[in-house]
Amino acid sequence: MTHTQIEEIDSVTSMRAYRHDSPLGEMRSLWTPQGLYSLSWISETNGGAASSITESTAAENTAARELDRQLERYFAGEPVSFDSLQVDHQGRTEFTRRVYQCCRQISFGQTSTYKELATRSGNEAASRAVGAAMSRNRVLLIIPCHRVISQHGQLRGFSAPGGLTTKQFLLDLETK
Q: Which residues are catalytic?
A: 145
The residue type found at 56 is S
C-alpha span between 52 and 43 (Å, rounded): 16
φ, ψ (nearest 5 deg) of residue 89: -100, 20
Query: What stretches of 94-144 show up as alpha helix (H) in DSSP?
Result: 94-104, 114-120, 127-135
Cβ-contact 168, 162 below 8 angstroms? no
Strands 15-20 and 3-10: antiparallel
